[in-house]
Every structure is written in structure tokens, then in C-alpha cells.
Amino acid sequence: MSSIFIQFFLLLIFSLSLAIVVSGYRDDDPKLIMRGIPRRMFLFAGTVIGMAVVAYALGATYLFPGA
Amino acid sequence: MTTLVPAESTRDQILKVVGLSFLLPGLGHVVAGWKRTGLIWMVVCQGMMFLGLQLAGFTQFDYGFSWGGSLPFEVIVLLPESFNFGGVLLFAQFFDSVDNGGVNVEALPYRQLGYLLSGMAGILGILSAPHAAGMTLTHSEPLPPSAKKPKCHPGVAAIAAMLFPGLGHFLIGRKFKAYLLGGTVLGLFVLGMAMGHFADFDRQRHAYYWIGQMLMGLPAWLVYLPLMPLNMGGVFPYQDTGFTFTSVAGMFNVVVALDAYHRAEFDWLDAKPKKEVESE
């Protein structure tokens, strides 16, 4: 059985990795790379969490069998 | 930000050699005039591809998609082998999977070695494209004797980056990026493997994830066979996330390799007298 907290933690790890790779691709200066990482990480993680919330809300209401 | 780009004639030449290298590894080199280098790429990639297909009884074709259609020959798309497009196309005309002849794939003792070799041949095949592109750049736009020569040409940087995450950046002198990007990609791969109890790297069980995993280069290729005896004895809570991590780590490695190529290309053009270089 998986835990929602561990899933959240794994999402943050994945978002951090993605942000590092994207920042490294976009910029060449170490300072610019480091500055871009948190913004890109939270943007990606926030988008995924937002979509998860929308999916959960739809599943619990409009798409719920019998609704 | 100013980006230096090669001259238009060089870009046209690069486009040509990259396209030809995709069709048949080494062909771009041969057409551009580097016959010996091109022949080495051809022999290595096609030899490794044939040996891999042979060892696995050509059962790799069972993982691909084929189109006969109205064409006079069969087109097979099979990843990562089809990165060596011409080789797969050629062998598919003459050989068929032994599975279709009733042979059980489990009866082929070296099939996993065959999968590994043919997969490596596909990835090495596509690496001939940046190598040919890098050679084209350095021959079309040579540096004057007074210029400080970059440590390696873009093709070598891209190949090194694909073979070992971060190595390409290390070779071109970007050590911060080498450790950061290489460490990130390797860390994501190892974490993903751990979540699947190191048994989630197997073409027979997870053929689609395997494509991405193979893009990790040597770190994945070297552990593929030693990890084979490990079996997934059950359903682990985060194994699907582990598959995703390992597969995406390989795709990230491609992005890192592309970056290594472009930074090395920038270094080469930056070393030229400025009036000879276009900028965007």
C-alpha cells in the first residue's frame, strides 16, 4: 500500500530532477542554473498537484458512478 | 543572450550528414568524405546489431511494429534498435523471429545478451549523427592557428555525454554542470531501480520502459546482465514510480547530451574571429 505523503515526496524529487535538467539546458552560468531550479521545480510540482486535485474533485462528484 | 550559429552552408551540410547517419550509421561520414571513419561506424553498428539479433533469435522484431502495406519491402520500427534505421530495415528483410517458427524465447540462452547488444547498436547508431555533425563543423569552419582550440569537438562531447551522464560536460570543461546534471540523472536512475528492487530493468517484462532505460548509456548497459537473476517476486508499492524514474532518467540523459553538443559547438564558434560567425 502506498502512502500519499511518500507519493508527494517522490513528486518533489522528480520535479527537482526535471528542474535541474531544464535549468542546465537553458543556462550555462552556475548562478543562473541554481536560480532557475526552485521556480521550475515548484511550477511543475504545482501543476501536477493542481491536475490531481481537479481529477479527484471530478471523480468524487460529476464522474462518480450514479452521480 | 547571443547564440553563435554555424554559417548557413555549414548548417546545410550538417543537416545532410545527420539525415544520412540516421538512415545508415556511417553513411553521413562517407558522403562527407571521411570514408574510413564512416566504414568503422558501419561495421561496428551493423556487426553489433546482427550479433545481437542473432543471439536473441531475431525475437527483437516481436517488440516492434511492422508495416508491409503497398511497399515492396517490410518496414519495421523497433526501439531503440531503429535508431540504426537502415540496419534494422535490412535485417528485417532476410530474417524472422524464431518465435514465429514455434521456438520458445525462453529456450534461447543468450537472448538477454542479444537484446543488450542490439539495443546498444541502435543507440550507437544514432550517435554517429552528432559525430558526423561535429566533424562537419570543425572541417567547414576551421579555427585559425592563433585561436585557442576547444578541448573536444561537439560530436565527441555528445557521444561522451550519452555514454556516461555528465562526461560530455566534463570534457568540455563545464565541471559544475557535469556533476550537477550527471549526478541528477544517475541519482534518478538508481532511485528508480531501488524502488523496483533492482528487478525493473528487463526487456521481456517491461519492454516500453526498457527503451528509456537503455538511453542511460554505460551505467545501464553494464548492470543489465548482472541484474538479470533478480526477480520481481511481488508487487512493490512504488514500482510504477520506479519504472518512470528509470525510464525518464534515460530521456533526461538525451537532453543532457544535446546540451553538451550545443555548448561544445558554442565554444568552437566562440574561438573563431567574431566577424566570421553569424549570431542570432
Copy the grid coordinates of residue B62: 516481436
Judged by a CB distance cut-off of 8 A, whether residue B258 touches chain A is yes
Secondary structure of B116-168 in HEC code, one letter for each residue: HHHHHHHHHHHHHHHHHHHHHHHHHCCCCCCCCCCCCCHHHHHHHHHHCCCHH
CA B9/CA B2 separation, integer angstroms = 20
Q: Identify the pLDDT of residue B5.
A: 85
Whether residue B237 is preceded by a cis peptide bond, meaning omega within 30 degrees of 0, is no
Residue of B nearest to A22 (CA): B255
Q: Using 50, 70 and 90 to split pLDDT, how confident is the model at B234?
A: confident
> Given B177, B184, B237, which is nearest A17 (Cβ)?
B184
Please choose, from the candidates B23, B168, B169, the residue with its C-alpha nearest in 3D space to the C-alpha of residue B85: B23
> Given B180, B191, B241, which is nearest A24 (Cβ)?
B180
> Given A6, A14, A24, which is nearest B245 (Cβ)?
A14
Q: Identify the pLDDT of residue A67.
A: 67
Which residues face B278 on adjacent strands? B5
| Mean of pLDDT values over B222-244 | 84
Residue of B nearest to A3 (CA): B237
- Whether residue A15 is predicted with pLDDT greater than 90 in this model: the reply is yes
Distance of CA A48 to the CA centre of its chain: 4
CA B125/CA B159 separation, integer angstroms = 11
Q: Identify the pLDDT of residue B119.
A: 95
| Mean of pLDDT values over B90-94 | 89
Judged by a CB distance cut-off of 8 A, whether residue B131 touches chain A is no
- What is this model's ipTM? 0.90
Give the percent of chain B with pLDDT over 70. Answer: 96
pLDDT, tens digit, for every residue of B106-163? Answer: 888 899 999 999 999 999 999 999 999 999 999 888 888 887 888 888 999 999 999 9
> B271 with B149: CB under 8 angstroms?
yes
> Given A6, A13, A30, which is nearest B176 (Cβ)?
A30
- Whether residue B277 is predicted with pLDDT greater than 70 in this model: the reply is no
Q: Is B102 left (phi over 0), alpha (psi -120 to 50) or beta?
A: left
Q: Do B181 and A13 touch (CB under 8 A)?
A: no
pLDDT, tens digit, for every residue of B178-192? Answer: 999 999 999 999 999
Q: Identify the pLDDT of residue A59.
A: 93
CA B278/CA B280 separation, integer angstroms = 7
Q: Using 50, 70 and 90 to split pLDDT, how confident is the model at B170?
A: very high
- By CB atoms closer than 10 A (0-12, 13-18, 19+), residue B55 is buried
Across chain B, what does the average pLDDT equal? Answer: 89
Q: Do A21 and B184 touch (CB under 8 A)?
A: yes
**Considering only CB atoms, which chain A residues are within 8 Å of B258?**
25
Q: Identify the pLDDT of residue B280.
A: 52
Judged by a CB distance cut-off of 8 A, whether residue B234 touches chain A is no
Place of cell 543572450: B1
> B19 with B29: CB under 8 angstroms?
no
Contacts (Cβ under 8 Å, ≥6 apart) of B210: B119, B201, B202, B203
| Mean of pLDDT values over B81-88 | 91
> B128 with B28: CB under 8 angstroms?
yes
Q: Do B238 and A2 touch (CB under 8 A)?
A: yes
Q: Do B241 and A33 touch (CB under 8 A)?
A: no
Q: Which residue has the higher pLDDT, A54 or B225?
A: A54
Look at residue A57 and give its three-state secondary structure: helix
Please choose, from the candidates B280, B224, B219, B215, the residue with its C-alpha nearest in 3D space to the C-alpha of residue B252: B215
> B216 with B173: CB under 8 angstroms?
no
CA B201/CA B192 separation, integer angstroms = 10
CA A39/CA B125 separation, integer angstroms = 37
Q: Distance, in angstroms, between A8 CA and closest chain B CA?
A: 12
- Whether residue B71 is predicted with pLDDT greater than 80 in this model: the reply is no
> Given B176, B245, B259, which is nearest A25 (Cβ)?
B259
Residues on chain A bordering chain B, Cβ-to-Cβ distance under 8 angstroms:
1-3, 6-7, 10, 13-14, 17-18, 20-22, 24-25, 28, 30, 33
Q: Distance, in angstroms, between A1 CA and closest chain B CA?
A: 6
- Whether residue B232 is predicted with pLDDT greater than 80 in this model: the reply is no
Q: Using 50, 70 and 90 to split pLDDT, how confident is the model at B215?
A: very high
Please choose, from the candidates A10, A3, A56, A49, the residue with its C-alpha nearest in 3D space to the C-alpha of residue B244: A10
**Considering only CB atoms, which chain B residues are within 8 Å of A33?**
176-177, 180
Judged by a CB distance cut-off of 8 A, whether residue B259 touches chain A is yes
* pTM of the entire predicted model: 0.90
* Ranges of H-type helices in chain B: 8-23, 27-32, 35-55, 85-94, 111-140, 154-163, 167-171, 175-195, 207-214, 218-224, 239-270
Interface test with B, best of A25, A27, A29, A32 (most B CBs within 10 A): A25
Q: Do A20 and B184 touch (CB under 8 A)?
A: yes
Residue of A nearest to B188 (CA): A17
Contacts (Cβ under 8 Å, ≥6 apart) of B113: B52, B55, B56, B225
**Considering only CB atoms, which chain B residues are within 8 Å of A14?**
188, 244-245, 248
- Whether residue B248 is predicted with pLDDT greater than 90 in this model: the reply is yes
